[in-house]
């Protein structure tokens, strides 16, 4: 694969890797579950309910602990357990990109990642991208270039765009188009998304 | 944004290039879509679906689901919670599928909801739904497109299914066609396609005794409210529908769907909030689609290219449980070109399939594809330039009703877009240019969409701190409604944009019509203006009426809103801010609500234009020019350039207007090249069930799209001169791409989508 090829998902995000890792992770989680629960819980905390798994995730710089069914995806954990609904569920199949988050700096489809697989890794969501009140350059460029319409795919687009810039895959408009093609936008803000990525790149230069 | 031109730059915020006021929320993940909400004690629902198309449920085994830990209820036809499904004749809302949910053991289509499992968690609900086991007695489904009897539908958009006009002495339009010196007879097929907004439908129902709060992404707040109230036997005021942000709609969130009803009834039955988010695969079976059309076009012209006869004969499928008709000729051939003889006919056939519904440019999208493809074929037969052929058939009046158009600037669209594109350099013959392994072709087509308005109300509040709130129960589907409401109110009140906030997406706000038919902006902004003017009248009274009022003695008519307050028109130094007025009066706010009924408008009373569908036709037009490259060995098509000019009256916000045109264009590009919901004519099941097999355009599929707006504001239509533009972008572009592929390769593909294998097999023949 040469360096200008479109992105291959990381092992945790492509379908085959997912199934392999997921079944492994669930098995490990099931076996390790009582131990993990004892190891992670504060002495005063009651153990998780039977069948539940206590998971600690580092999200946007904070450790967050919650009790989950082992089969819970990272996406559903973020949205429904950690009150971070900015990350969106568009397909739950790994086909649309709306659920894109960063795990250890890489773009990952959170609908194809079990929460249990993300323990010990640094997770960044759309809520954690801005530095306080200051928008990330990609966020500001999306506003300025109208890089969205309905806004539903936008968190995923922005997380992909930020990674795309960091990866150095925004050298030309065609390269941006190719490397941003894993994020569907039915409103088709695509030309404006390209303009936003280009603008963020030029402003950061 | 140098590729956007505006003929009449507005002096104020309306018409300007303004960034969305909700942009910050959208880029930070804080815009609240329905499924983002979770409530204490909330349960989750998931549906089980039929795996046959027709028959009855012989046995439904719910035991395993009921025993699953976390499952709190399983609803089937045997224990449906109490509902009162609407009747066909009920009004105040739209229902696409006339099938009471969980009514009995009958199966009417593949993917019909047969059970809803409610559980403590999403995962449990989903597992529970998967444990429902049905056995069926199957009966034959009507799934073959060619099998069912063709029938004449009822009214199509208020018109008869057969329309005809004939010149004196002409026996039939078919005769006039036959007698034309040049005539063509061509048939086009457009497949079923699905909306697929990125946000799947979601609902959360929450009860407080007999009051329902219902979160759902919808295109018609009041319609959803009325549907729920009628079907749950509640007074309308006991239902509140909330939809602050809608993650795309394109028509599939305009009708109310029966699962909304089941979830609301389940929440009442269980006395706890219930949340239901449908899976992407259910977007194929449960929320409508665009039907399949077969369109026969017979066009006849004289030697100069003047149309002598046009026949546009359409067949489209409906559902056995949904009567929606995908008009075609009615929305295309009736509004485009001068011709003494025009015949438009539409027949339907019912399939065993879920109900179809409106999809972006319903009727126009397939109708303009067929008409504008046929016009290209006629130009070839006449050896005429396609633009010249269209210019030879220009008309100032509606071709069927003969009413004058309020404003029609189609020829200007051809000129502006054609010049930008460089159309004059187009080689007249196809297959003239090979660039490496790529055939290069240029094509064009016209675009058109009707202009609509409906009753709308809006409320304005000017607050003591000098800010204002504008509110109406409209919708922002990505269309920019929040932003243009803010712009309009800020202009009227002389406030900067950041001093005005907009509220919408709540059925407790003043009534707005369904956000469909590209009518929202054209309907609600006149109401916003009127409400602002009523509020201003009250503010002017505060400023002038009392003896010690700051502008006492000035006639209210001599005051205008500016700089966050009121000033004397003839002496701008005499100015008082709203904040100062409130401080003096001690009031907390001034409020005004106004309703605008387009059919009751009179010039003198409301400073509104005379809008009348009995004297005037209102229609938007546009033109697309496209360059495609088609690979000579693989048949792959890449669209390299798109230039469009749109005659939609006054664009209200250049940024969002351009985005809407681009979005419509991409919709048409998908229809042209990749979108096809495959339907199994043996089983009656959809074959494409995810976004991996249903190919919507991706970023790399779109070139730069050069958008111009031409023509003057249409002040005969409304006070803003704006006709709306959510849908016109998805008309004509599909034909322009097909015409460019013909020009590139010499291959004419008449069945969408134009995929590589169809091109390759035609290349052999070309």
Domain with B364 in it: what CATH number? Answer: 3.30.365.10
CA distances from B323 to B126, B156, B245, B326, B675 (A): 32, 11, 29, 10, 23
Residue with the two structure tokens 């052999």: B764
Give the residue on B whose Cα is nearest the Cα of A69. Answer: B123
Residues 6+ apart with CB under 8 A from B764: none
Helix residue ranges, H only, A104-153: 137-145
| B520: region left, alpha or beta (phi > 0 left; psi from -120 to 50 alpha) | alpha
CATH topology (fold) of A137-204: DNA polymerase; domain 1 (1.10.150)
CA–CA separation, B529 and B592 (whole Å): 11
Q: What integer pLDDT is reported at residue A44 of this predicted model?
A: 66
Q: What integer pLDDT is reported at residue B199 of this predicted model?
A: 98
CA distances from B553 to B543, B558, B606 (A): 10, 10, 25
Answer whether A177 touches B (CB < 8 Å): yes
* Low-confidence spans in chain A with pLDDT less than 70: 1-44
CA–CA separation, A165 and A179 (whole Å): 10
Q: Are residues B302 and B376 in the same domain?
A: yes
Residues 6+ apart with CB under 8 A from B436: none
CA–CA separation, B641 and B754 (whole Å): 18
Q: Which of B27, B122, B124 faces A158 most closely, judged by CB atoms?
A: B27
Answer whether A84 touches B (CB < 8 Å): yes
CA-based nearest residue to B38, from A105, A44, A77, A47 = A77
CB atoms within 10 A of CB B10: 18
* DSSP string of B564-612, one letter each residue: TEEEETTEEEEEEEHHHHHHHH--SEEEEEEEE-GGG--HHHHS-----
CB contact under 8 A, A95 and B28: no
Q: Where are the beta strands (DSSP E) in B110-234?
A: 113-119, 133-138, 162-165, 182-190, 202-208, 211-215
Nearest chain B Cα distance for residue A156, angstroms: 10
- B688 located within any domain: no
CB B521 within 8 A of CB B652: yes
Nearest chain A Cα distance for residue B278, angstroms: 10
Residues of A in contact with B667 (CB under 8 A): 188
Q: Are residues B346 and B448 in the same domain?
A: no
Answer whether B690 touches A (CB < 8 Å): yes
C-alpha B308, offset from chain centre: 33
CA–CA separation, B296 and B312 (whole Å): 6
CB B287 within 8 A of CB B195: yes
CA–CA separation, B199 and B249 (whole Å): 8
Looking at chain A, the domain(s) classified CATH 3.10.20.30 span 15-127
- How many domains are contained in chain B? 4
Residues of A in contact with B661 (CB under 8 A): none
Q: What integer pLDDT is reported at residue A112 of this predicted model?
A: 98
Q: What integer pLDDT is reported at residue A15 of this predicted model?
A: 46
* Low-confidence spans in chain B with pLDDT less than 50: 1-10, 603-606
C-alpha B649, offset from chain centre: 18
Q: Are residues B120 and B214 in the same domain?
A: yes
Give the residue on B whose Cα is nearest the Cα of A194. Answer: B699
Residues 6+ apart with CB under 8 A from B493: B460, B462, B468, B500, B532, B535, B536, B561, B578
Give the residue on B whose Cα is nearest the Cα of A153. Answer: B198
Q: Are residues B182 and B211 in the same domain?
A: no
Q: Are residues B481 and B363 in the same domain?
A: no
Mutate to test the interface with B, among A95, A135, A149, A170 (most CBs of B within 10 A): A149
Is B704 catalytic? The answer is no
ipTM of the complex: 0.96
CB contact under 8 A, B692 and A125: no
Mutate to test the interface with B, among A26, A146, A164, A189 (most CBs of B within 10 A): A146
CA angle A67, A72, A76 (to 5 degrees): 95
Q: Are residues B575 and B707 in the same domain?
A: no
Residues of B in contact with A95 (CB under 8 A): 280, 690-692
CA–CA separation, A124 and A121 (whole Å): 10
Q: Are residues B538 and B467 in the same domain?
A: yes
CA–CA separation, B429 and B384 (whole Å): 10
Exactly one of B315, B320, B326, B727 is catalytic; which is it? B727
Residue with the two structure tokens 């707005």: B512
CA–CA separation, B737 and B637 (whole Å): 10
Answer whether B24 touches A (CB < 8 Å): yes
Looking at chain A, the domain(s) classified CATH 1.10.150.120 span 137-204
Give the residue on A whose Cα is nearest the Cα of B283. Answer: A91
Tokens of B709: 């707006």
3-state DSSP assignment of residue B164: strand
Of the candidates B563, B582, B606, which is a domain's last residue? B606
Q: Are residues B525 and B562 in the same domain?
A: yes
Q: What integer pLDDT is reported at residue B284 of this predicted model?
A: 98
Of the candidates B233, B255, B283, which is a domain's last residue? B283
CB contact under 8 A, B198 and A96: yes
Tokens of B551: 């502008």
- B757 located within any domain: yes
Number of residues in chain A: 205
CB contact under 8 A, B199 and A191: no
- B538 located within any domain: yes
Residues 6+ apart with CB under 8 A from B151: B347, B348, B349, B350
CB B48 within 8 A of CB B115: yes
Nearest chain A Cα distance for residue B162, angstroms: 35
Residues of A in contact with B280 (CB under 8 A): 90-93, 95-96
Helix (H) or strand (E) holding B535: helix B520-544
Residues of A in contact with B199 (CB under 8 A): 88, 90, 150, 152
> Bridge partners of A134?
A131
Q: What is the SS3 assignment for B84-112?
A: CCCCCCCCCCCECCCCCCCCCCEECCCCC
- The single-letter DSSP state of residue A114 is B
CA angle B760, B706, B23 (to 5 degrees): 115
Q: Which of B198, B704, B705 faces A150 most closely, judged by CB atoms?
A: B198
Nearest chain B Cα distance for residue A181, angstroms: 5
Answer whether B696 touches A (CB < 8 Å): yes
CA atoms B46, B47, B51, B53: torsion sign: negative
- B395 located within any domain: no
* DSSP string of B65-86, one letter each residue: HHHSTTEEEEE-TTSPPS--PP
- B470 located within any domain: yes
CA-based nearest residue to B342, from B302, B300, B390 = B300
Number of residues in chain B: 766
Answer whether A154 touches B (CB < 8 Å): yes
CA–CA separation, A110 and A92 (whole Å): 9
CA–CA separation, B487 and B493 (whole Å): 10
Mutate to test the interface with A, among B1, B4, B29 (most CBs of A within 10 A): B29
Answer whether A124 touches B (CB < 8 Å): no
CB atoms within 10 A of CB B473: 26
Q: Are residues B621 and B665 in the same domain?
A: yes
CB B437 within 8 A of CB B632: yes
Nearest chain B Cα distance for residue A79, angstroms: 7
CB contact under 8 A, A189 and B663: yes
Answer whether A126 touches B (CB < 8 Å): yes
Residues 6+ apart with CB under 8 A from B169: none
Q: Which of residues 112-151 of B touch A (CB under 8 A)?
A: 121-124
Q: Which CATH number fits domain A15-127: 3.10.20.30, 3.50.50.60, 3.40.50.720, 2.60.40.10?
A: 3.10.20.30
CB B576 within 8 A of CB B566: yes
Residues of A in contact with B663 (CB under 8 A): 149, 187-189
Q: Are residues B670 and B529 in the same domain?
A: no
Q: Which of A72, A144, A178 faces B700 most closely, judged by CB atoms?
A: A178
CB contact under 8 A, A139 and B198: no
Nearest chain B Cα distance for residue A120, angstroms: 24
Q: What is the signed CA dihedral for B691, B693, B697, B699, rounded to 10 degrees? A: 70
Domain containing residue B625: 403-452+611-676+702-766
Answer whether B633 touches A (CB < 8 Å): no
Give the residue on B whose Cα is nearest the Cα of A181. Answer: B699
Buried b (16+ CB within 10 A) or exposed e, B666-697: bbbbbbbbbbbbebeeeebbbebbbbeebbbb
CA-based nearest residue to B751, from B184, B295, B284 = B295
Of the candidates B235, B263, B283, which is a domain's last residue? B283
Taking one residue from A and the other from B, the number of pairs with CB-CB distance under 8 angstroms is 185
- The single-letter DSSP state of residue A178 is H
Q: Are residues B461 and B543 in the same domain?
A: yes
Q: Which of A69, A153, A177 faces B198 most closely, judged by CB atoms?
A: A153
- B653 located within any domain: yes
CA–CA separation, A90 and A157 (whole Å): 12
Q: What integer pLDDT is reported at residue B9 of this predicted model?
A: 40
């Amino acid at each position: 694969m040469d360096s200008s090829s479109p992105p291959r998902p990381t092992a945790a995000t492509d379908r085959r890797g997912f199934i392999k890792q997921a079944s492994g992770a669930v098995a490990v989680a099931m076996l390790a579950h009582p131990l993990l629960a004892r190891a992670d819980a504060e002495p005063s905390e009651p153990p998780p309910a039977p069948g539940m798994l206590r998971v600690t995730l580092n999200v946007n710089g904070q450790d967050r602990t919650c009790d989950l069914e082992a089969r819970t995806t990272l996406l559903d954990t973020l949205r429904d357990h950690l009150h971070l609904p900015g990350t969106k569920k568009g397909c739950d199949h790994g086909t649309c990109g709306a659920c894109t988050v960063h795990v250890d700096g890489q773009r990952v489809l959170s609908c194809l990642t079990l929460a249990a697989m993300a323990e010990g890794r640094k997770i960044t969501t759309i809520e954690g991208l801005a530095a306080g009140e200051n928008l990330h350059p990609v966020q500001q460029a999306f506003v300025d270039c109208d890089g969205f319409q309905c806004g539903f795919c936008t968190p995923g687009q922005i997380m992909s765009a930020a990674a795309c810039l960091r990866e150095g895959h925004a050298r030309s408009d065609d390269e941006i188009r190719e490397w941003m093609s894993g994020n569907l936008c039915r409103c088709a803000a695509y030309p404006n998304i390209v303009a936003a990525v280009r603008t963020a790149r030029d402003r950061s230069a | 944004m140098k590729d956007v031109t505006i003929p009449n730059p507005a002096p104020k915020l309306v018409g300007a290039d303004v960034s969305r006021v909700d942009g910050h929320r959208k880029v930070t993940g804080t815009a609240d879509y329905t499924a983002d909400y979770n409530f204490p004690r909330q349960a989750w629902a998931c549906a089980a679906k039929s795996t046959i198309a027709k028959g009855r449920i012989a046995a439904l085994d719910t035991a395993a689901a009921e025993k699953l830990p976390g499952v709190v209820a399983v609803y089937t036809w045997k224990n449906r919670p109490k509902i009162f499904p609407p009747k066909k004749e009920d009004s105040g809302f739209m229902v696409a599928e006339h099938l009471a949910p969980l009514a009995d053991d009958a199966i009417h289509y593949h993917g019909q909801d047969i059970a809803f499992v409610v559980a403590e968690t999403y995962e449990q609900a989903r597992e529970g739904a998967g444990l429902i086991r049905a056995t069926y007695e199957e009966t034959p489904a009507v799934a073959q497109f060619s099998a069912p009897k063709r029938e004449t539908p009822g009214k199509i958009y208020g018109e008869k299914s057969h329309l005809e006009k004939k010149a004196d002495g002409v026996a039939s339009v078919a005769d006039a066609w036959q007698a034309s010196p040049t005539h063509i007879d061509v048939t086009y097929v457009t497949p079923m396609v699905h909306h697929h907004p990125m946000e799947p439908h979601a609902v959360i129902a929450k009860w407080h005794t007999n009051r329902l709060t219902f979160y759902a992404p919808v295109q018609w707040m009041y319609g959803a409210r009325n549907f729920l109230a009628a079907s749950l036997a509640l007074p309308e005021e006991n239902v509140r529908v909330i939809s602050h942000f809608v993650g795309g709609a394109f028509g599939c969130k305009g009708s109310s769907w029966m699962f909304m009803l089941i979830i609301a009834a389940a929440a009442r039955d269980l006395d706890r909030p219930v949340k239901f988010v449908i899976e992407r695969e259910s977007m194929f079976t449960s929320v409508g689609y665009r039907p399949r059309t077969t369109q026969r076009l017979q066009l006849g012209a004289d030697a100069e290219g003047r149309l002598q006869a046009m026949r546009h004969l359409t067949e489209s499928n409906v559902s056995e449980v949904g009567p929606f008709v995908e008009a075609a000729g009615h929305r295309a051939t009736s509004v485009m070109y001068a011709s003494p003889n025009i015949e438009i006919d539409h027949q339907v056939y019912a399939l065993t399939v879920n109900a179809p519904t409106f999809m972006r440019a319903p009727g126009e999208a397939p109708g303009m594809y067929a008409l504008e493809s046929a016009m290209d074929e006629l130009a070839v037969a006449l050896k005429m330039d396609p633009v010249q052929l269209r210019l030879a058939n220009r008309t100032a009046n509606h071709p069927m009703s003969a009413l004058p158009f309020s404003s029609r600037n189609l020829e200007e669209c051809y000129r502006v877009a054609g010049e930008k594109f460089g159309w004059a350099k187009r080689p007249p013959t196809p297959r003239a240019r090979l660039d490496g392994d790529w055939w290069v072709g240029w094509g064009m087509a016209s675009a058109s969409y009707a202009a609509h308005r409906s009753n709308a109300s809006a409320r304005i509040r000017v607050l003591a701190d000098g800010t204002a709130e504008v509110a109406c129960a409209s919708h922002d589907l990505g269309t920019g409604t929040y932003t243009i409401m803010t712009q309009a109110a800020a202009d009227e009140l002389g406030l900067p944009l950041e001093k005005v906030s907009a509220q919408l997406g709540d059925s407790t706000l003043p009534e707005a019509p369904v956000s469909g038919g590209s009518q929202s902006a054209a309907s609600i902004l006149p109401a916003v203006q009127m409400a602002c003017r009523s509020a201003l009248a009250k503010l002017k009274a505060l400023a002038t009426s009392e003896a010690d009022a700051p502008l006492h003695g000035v006639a209210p008519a001599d005051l205008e809103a500016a700089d966050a307050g009121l000033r004397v028109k003839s002496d701008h130094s005499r100015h008082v801010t709203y904040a100062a007025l409130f401080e003096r009066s001690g009031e907390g706010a001034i409020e005004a609500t106004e309703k605008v009924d387009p059919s009751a408008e009179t010039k003198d009373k409301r400073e509104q234009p005379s809008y009348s569908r009995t004297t005037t036709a209102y229609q938007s037009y546009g033109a697309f020019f496209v360059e495609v490259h088609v690979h000579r060995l693989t048949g792959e098509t890449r669209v390299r350039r798109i230039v469009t000019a749109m005659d939609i009256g006054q664009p209200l916000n250049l940024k969002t207007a351009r985005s809407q045109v681009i979005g419509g264009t991409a919709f048409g590009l998908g229809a042209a090249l990749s979108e096809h919901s495959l339907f199994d004519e043996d089983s009656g099941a959809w074959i494409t069930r995810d976004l991996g097999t249903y190919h919507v355009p991706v970023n790399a599929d779109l070139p730069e799209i050069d958008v111009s707006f031409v023509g003057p504001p249409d002040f005969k239509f409304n006070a803003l001169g704006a006709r709306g533009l959510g849908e016109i972008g998805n008309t004509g572009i599909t034909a322009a791409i097909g015409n460019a592929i013909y020009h590139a390769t010499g291959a004419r593909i008449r069945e969408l989508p134009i995929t590589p294998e169809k091109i390759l097999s035609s290349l052999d023949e070309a």
